[in-house]
Amino acid sequence: QKEVEQDPGPLSVPEGAIVSLNCTYSNSAFQYFMWYRQYSRKGPELLMYTYSSGNKEDGRFTAQVDKSSKYISLFIRDSQPSDSATYLCAFSSGGYQKVTFGTGTKLQVIP
Amino acid sequence: ETGVTQTPRHLVMGMTNKKSLKCEQHLGHNAMYWYKQSAKKPLELMFVYNFKEQTENNSVPSRFSPECPNSSHLFLHLHTLQPEDSALYLCASSQDLALGSGETQYFGPGTRLLVL
């Protein structure tokens, strides 16, 4: 079983749609949950960071963690063409442990 | 601009060539990283440096040789590569190594490498 599962997409949605991006994981030690956004020809940039379970909201973005199901989600409301990018989920068990990344989901928001 | 620059942005090399990738961070960070990103695969951590000292070598073949002369510069020396080494090579930096506790990594734009 892979440590992290993420659908690579591509996912195409019309502008204004609500987007749901998801990852599942198997390592119970993960406590820190991250979403990175990677535009074409750029490196990843940290978008959202959550510790333990629950929701975190930042503007149009909401990160959700369900540790009991080992499932995390990123919701994008009122999606814009500028949101077109690859979204990578990432995990860590804390401290000086390395970050484990998903494969990334490519999102295209069509005007 | 993330403050992490990489050169060259694109590189084509034959299997017998020797080339080097360069990374520079302007953020005053102490830790620097090399990652490999291949299509449909997760980011693979290759090397970690903290205060110029290598702290992790993630079972990377010896045809990849890192060098960190100071906390701002990181190199990846390449020789006798294989076609399967073609990928995007990303450099990153962070203030310290506590990535698992919210410390943020800042990535450069990457070098797109093609090995023929």
Q: Which two structure tokens, joined as six digits, stand for A64?
A: 């959700």
**Separation in Å, CA A111 to CA A8, A9, A17, A60:** 22, 19, 11, 17
Q: What is the mean pLDDT of chain A?
A: 93
pLDDT tens-digit readout, A27-80:
999 999 999 999 998 999 999 988 888 899 999 999 999 999 999 999 999 999
Mean pLDDT of B68-91: 96
Provide the pLDDT for residue B102.
Answer: 67
A52: contact with B, CB 8 A cutoff: no
Give the C-alpha separation, B106 to B45, whole Å: 14
Q: Give Cα A102 distance to the centre of its chain.
A: 9
Provide the pLDDT for residue A98.
Answer: 83
Provide the pLDDT for residue A93.
Answer: 86
Contact criterion met (CB below 8 Å) for B15 and B116: yes
Phi-psi region of B102 (alpha: psi -120 to 50; beta: other; left: phi over 0): left
Burial category of A89 from C-beta neighbours within 10 Å (exposed 0-12, middle 13-18, buried 19 and up): buried
Contact criterion met (CB below 8 Å) for B14 and B21: no
Residues present in chain A in total: 111
Distance from CA of A102 to the nearest CA of B (A): 5
A61-66 and B111-115 beta bridge pairing: unpaired
Give the C-alpha separation, A3 to B59, whole Å: 18
Residue B1 has pLDDT above 60, yes or no: no
Q: Which of residues 9-48 of A touch B (CB under 8 A)?
A: 31-32, 41-46
Give the helix, strand, coil percentages of chain B, each rounded to 5.
5, 55, 40
Q: Do B104 and A8 touch (CB under 8 A)?
A: no
* Chain A residues inside the 8 Å CB shell of B106: 45
Provide the pLDDT for residue B100.
Answer: 67
